[in-house]
Amino acid sequence: MTTFTAFTTMMGKSSADVMSGAMEGMQPAPTGVGVFEVEDNSGLWEVGGYFVDAPDGVSLALLAATFGAKPFVISELPETDWVAHVKRELPPVEAGRFFVYGSHDADALPEGRVGLLIDAAMAFGTGHHGTTLGCLRAFDRLLTNGHGFADVADVGCGTAVLAMAAAKTTDANVIASDIDPVAVGVAVVNMAANGMGDAVVCVTAAGFDDPALAGAAPFDLIFANILKGPLVMLAPDMAKNAKTGGFAILSGLLNEQADEIIAVYARSGFNLVHRDEIVEWTTLTLRQGT
């Protein structure tokens, strides 16, 4: 599926917020809209939207002119066949109590480990990448330290390996969401492959914008293994949807980007609990309001 993006910058948060509201009313409608500050002390704010259908360039030009924004930059993200791109026999990955393996290693699951069957397919998150591995290690550490969870969200779930890890080790209500419907379809297939039925609710959503997520909030654990830009945009919503004392495990970050994300989330009430680096990637464990 092809995805389109449209981004602009403008001065002032209040104007950016109004612009984002106007974007949400466009036709074709965006699947998600975000606002975040450009972290260079310039006072600029970026407003961006994601579209399944090509956005109306005339409407965007009118919005930019109306709100005094720079012209929108519209991009088309290339459609990629991730099955052909990444399907291969990957070796198992061990992350604390978790053992992530492909069907070709079905006989290799060690006794007493939590097995997560994930074949390389149309969405990222096999456990081999430093970001997913970091998230699994961070979650394993929380479990080892005696933390329990009743409501868990995996935002930007990809294969939903993190959601499955939560569902297999806790009695929590677990929801997995992704902006890409292909990823959500892969997540559902992975649930079946792991014999998990409907243990995880899978929805297509941008951030927390879905009735299922709204109805389950607040969460005492939120996974967000995405990228720096979306993590910055999600910080206020993350705070709204996290319980006081709840944890957020964030990744998709290069090591040099981590300090900025720590600062952004600190402004939304999150404090750093742990920081892991795996090669060039950082995973952050944060806690809300403590």
Q: Is 204 labelled as part of a ligand binding site?
A: no
How do 281-288 and 270-278 pair as beta strands? Answer: antiparallel
Phi-psi region of 98 (alpha: psi -120 to 50; beta: other; left: phi over 0): beta
Catalogue the long-range contacts made by 193-198 (C-beta closer than 8 Å, 24 or more residues apart).
Answer: 193/103, 193/117, 193/119, 194/115, 194/116, 194/117, 194/164, 194/168, 196/164, 196/167, 196/168
Identity of the amino acid at 158: G
Q: How far apart are CA 243 and CA 98, in angstroms?
A: 26
Instruction: Count Cβ atoms below 10 Å from residue 236 Cβ, excluding itself.
Output: 16
Whether residue 190 is annotated as binding a ligand: the answer is: no
- The 3-state secondary structure of 166-181 reads HHHHCCCEEEEEECCH
| CB-based contact 208:241 (threshold 8 Å) | yes
- Any binding-site annotation on 225? yes
How remote is the C-alpha of 27 from its chain's centroid? 26
Quick one: 21 exposed, middle or buried, by C-beta within 10 A (0-12, 13-18, 19+)?
exposed
CB 30 within 8 A of CB 79: no
41 assigned to a ligand binding site: no
- Report which DSSP code applies to 206: S
Q: Is residue 21 helix, strand or coil?
A: helix
Tokens 């009118």 correspond to what residue?
A: 62
Residues in binding site: 132, 156, 178, 225
Residues in binding site for S-adenosyl-L-methionine: 132, 156, 178, 225
